[in-house]
């Protein structure tokens, strides 16, 4: 059996499990850099996914706790989609991906890891990023530390 050493994961494994909605908690705290909250608007915010599929995996979420897309106001919808567009533009400029996966997973059965708080994923993609590691060994290789990606993105205008 092959082994992959990831000693930094022990902090995650041993930390107390958080109660409640992680997106609500992170959006209410005043510690954006530590929480990887990238940008704040009036009704939505942008956060770097702490369990990314690829470097630069962003999520846009409303501040308001809802899982129902139909609950969003017209202003929230407009800002939400504007943040998606701006995220794609920023990621193109900074990380230069070949393409993107952008989408919502509505409900646990649809793949939502956080199924009680609506959020849109923006995942940069590169040719060859889905190599043998995730296909054969169910292991993802993220080539840049989250803090480094966060700093590179924050250095640019959103």
CATH for the stretch 19-154: 3.30.428.10
d(CA 77, CA 127): 31
d(CA 108, CA 145): 28
pLDDT at 155: 85
The 10s digit of each residue's pLDDT in 41-68 is 999 999 999 888 788 999 999 999 999 9
Which stretch of DSSP H or E encloses residue 100? strand 99-104
State phi, psi for 39 to the nearest 5 degrees. Answer: -155, 145
Task: Give the domain ranges of the chain.
Answer: 19-154
- 99-104/58-62 β-pairing: unpaired
d(CA 91, CA 120): 15
The 10s digit of each residue's pLDDT in 2-17 is 555 656 656 656 767 6
d(CA 1, CA 142): 22
Quote the pTM value: 0.81
70 or 147, which is more confident: 70
CA 8 to chain CA centroid, Å, is: 20
State phi, psi for 127 to the nearest 5 degrees. Answer: -60, 125
**Residue 61 burial class via C-beta count within 10 angstroms: exposed 0-12, middle 13-18, buried 19 and up:** buried
pLDDT at 141: 54
The contacts of residue 128 (CB under 8 Å, 6+ apart) are none
- Catalytic residue set: 119
End-to-end Cα separation, the chain, in angstroms: 45
The 10s digit of each residue's pLDDT in 70-123 is 999 999 999 999 999 999 999 999 999 999 999 999 889 888 888 999 999 999
């Amino acid at each position: 059996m092959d082994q992959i050493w990831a000693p930094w994961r022990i902090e995650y494994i041993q930390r107390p499990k958080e109660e409640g909605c992680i997106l609500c908690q992170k959006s209410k705290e005043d510690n954006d850099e530590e929480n990887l909250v990238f940008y704040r608007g009036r009704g939505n915010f942008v956060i770097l996914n702490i369990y990314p599929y690829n470097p630069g995996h962003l999520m846009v979420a409303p501040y308001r706790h809802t899982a129902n897309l139909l609950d969003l106001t017209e202003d929230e919808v407009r800002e939400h989609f504007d943040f998606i567009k701006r995220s794609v533009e920023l990621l193109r400029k900074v990380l230069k991906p070949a393409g993107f996966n952008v989408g919502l997973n509505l409900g646990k059965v649809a793949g939502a890891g956080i199924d009680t708080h609506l959020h849109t994923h923006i995942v940069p993609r590169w040719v060859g990023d889905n190599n043998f590691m995730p296909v054969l060994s169910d292991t993802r290789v993220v080539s840049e530390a989250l803090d480094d990606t966060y700093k590179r993105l924050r250095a640019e205008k959103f």
